[in-house]
């Protein structure tokens, strides 16, 4: 197994146009929820978490703008020649996501390159797996680094603030609104991390120590199936097996909980089925409380937050468990550790 080191981050969210600003706001539990230009079934304004870019845009242009800003921040200090050798693994919405914008798989990468005025490595690709895209990208990054790439850029960009998406989720009673208190607040944003192979260093580094995946049959919209959080439990156990330890070294979790009761129940069930030591607390952090449901952006955002918490010392332990779930049933877990690496 090749351990990965997270060495850079960038984020654009409803509470900040950079990783430091966004992470500081999320740490302080600041949100930017506001009325959108859409109304719910009762005629009330829907609440959302929009990103206000310096150059106002919407739709496809908004995705390009957010992703470009987050990636530029993450790559600051690197030359064009260095960037050309870095593959970009870009997470986007699932192919079957309601209201998904067209041309994401075919042209979003190229549009971002044109906006940045740079070209990424030929192994760059789009990963349409929603909230689990970042974990899938980490698996791919391991492989790319083993094959000779010195660095890999992992990013995610998404938006739920489009008319078709909001209409679809409102029809399914999944948006928080005047007539539904078990729903999520739609948001948007982009986040990026830069990873490399682990090198000996006297300074602590944030390492990805374990990855695990699972599949849940009783999804958020399925009916009649018993729900035991089998998929997330499988993913967490696999991540612990990958890194060689469990909750005895972990005191907090970062998760993509959207506000719906289903996902909170899933997180609680998975914890009860994997916790095998006595713990006073295993705190749960949910950035969606501040930035809303941001889809494919959420995975890289969790890693940006873990990096900031580790470097600034406000994480509750040197290790953290991050986990993600998408509506289609895919589950992913990542174990991160902030530690020194000694030379052999």
Query: 149 Cβ partners below 8 Å, 6+ apart?
Result: 85, 86, 87, 121, 123
Two structure tokens written together for 11: 């984020």
Structural class in CATH, domain 203-341: alpha beta
Beta-carbon-side half-sphere exposure of residue 159 (alpha carbons within 13 Å): 23
Helix, strand or coil, per DSSP, at residue 266: helix
Hey, how many other C-beta atoms are within 10 angstroms of the C-beta on 4?
25
d(CA 24, CA 18): 10
Query: Using one digit for the tens of pLDDT, what is the confidence trace for 168-208?
Result: 999 999 999 888 889 999 999 999 999 999 887 878 999 99
Query: Using one digit for the tens of pLDDT, what is the confidence trace for 220-241?
Result: 998 888 999 999 999 999 999 9
**CB–CB of 94/100 below 8 Å?**
yes
For the chain, where do the domains classified as CATH 3.40.47.10 start and end? Answer: 4-197, 203-341
pLDDT tens track of the chain, all 344 residues? 578 999 999 999 999 999 999 999 999 999 999 999 898 887 889 999 999 999 888 899 999 999 999 999 999 988 888 899 999 999 999 999 999 988 899 899 999 999 999 999 999 999 999 999 999 999 999 999 999 999 999 999 999 999 999 999 999 999 998 888 899 999 999 999 999 998 878 789 999 999 999 999 999 998 888 999 999 999 999 999 999 999 999 999 999 999 899 999 999 999 999 998 888 888 999 999 999 999 999 999 999 999 999 999 999 889 999 999 999 999 999 999 999 887 66
Helix %, strand %, coil % of the chain (to 5): 35, 30, 35
Query: Using one digit for the tens of pLDDT, what is the confidence trace for 307-320?
Result: 999 999 999 889 99
d(CA 306, CA 311): 9
Mean pLDDT for the chain overall: 93
- Does the pTM surpass 0.75? The reply is yes
- Is the CATH number of domain 4-197 3.40.47.10? yes
């Amino acid at each position: 197994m090749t351990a990965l080191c997270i060495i850079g981050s960038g984020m654009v969210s409803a509470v900040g146009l950079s990783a430091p600003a966004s992470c500081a706001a999320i740490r302080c539990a600041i949100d930017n929820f506001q009325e959108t230009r859409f109304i719910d079934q009762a005629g009330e304004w829907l609440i959302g978490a929009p990103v206000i870019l310096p150059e106002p845009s919407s739709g496809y242009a908004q995705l390009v703008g957010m992703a470009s800003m987050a990636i530029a921040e993450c790559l600051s200090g690197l030359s064009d020649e260095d960037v050309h050798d870095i593959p970009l693994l870009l997470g986007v919405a699932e192919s079957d996501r309601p209201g998904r914008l067209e041309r994401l798989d075919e042209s979003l990468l190229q549009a971002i390159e044109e906006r940045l005025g740079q070209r990424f490595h030929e192994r760059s690709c789009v990963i349409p797996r929603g909230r689990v895209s970042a974990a899938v990208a980490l698996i791919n990054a391991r492989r790319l680094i083993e094959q000779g790439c010195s660095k890999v850029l992992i990013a995610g960009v998404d938006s739920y603030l489009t008319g078709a998406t909001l209409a679809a989720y409102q029809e399914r009673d999944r948006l928080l609104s005047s007539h539904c208190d078990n729903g999520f607040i739609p948001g948007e944003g982009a986040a990026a991390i830069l990873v490399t192979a682990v090198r000996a260093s006297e300074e602590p580094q944030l390492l990805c120590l374990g990855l695990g995946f699972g599949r849940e049959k009783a999804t958020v919209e399925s009916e009649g199936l018993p729900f035991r959080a089998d998929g997330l439990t499988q993913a967490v156990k696999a991540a612990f097996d990958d890194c060689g330890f469990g909750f005895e070294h972990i005191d907090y979790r970062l998760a993509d909980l959207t506000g719906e009761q289903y996902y909170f129940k899933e997180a609680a069930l998975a914890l009860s089925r994997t916790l095998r030591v006595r713990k006073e607390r295993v705190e749960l952090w949910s950035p969606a409380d501040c930035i809303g449901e941001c889809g494919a952006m959420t995975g890289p955002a969790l890693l940006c937050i873990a990096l900031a918490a580790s470097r600034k010392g406000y994480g509750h332990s040197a290790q953290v468990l991050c986990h993600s779930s998408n509506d289609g049933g895919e589950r992913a877990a990542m174990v991160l550790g902030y530690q020194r690496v000694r030379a052999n």
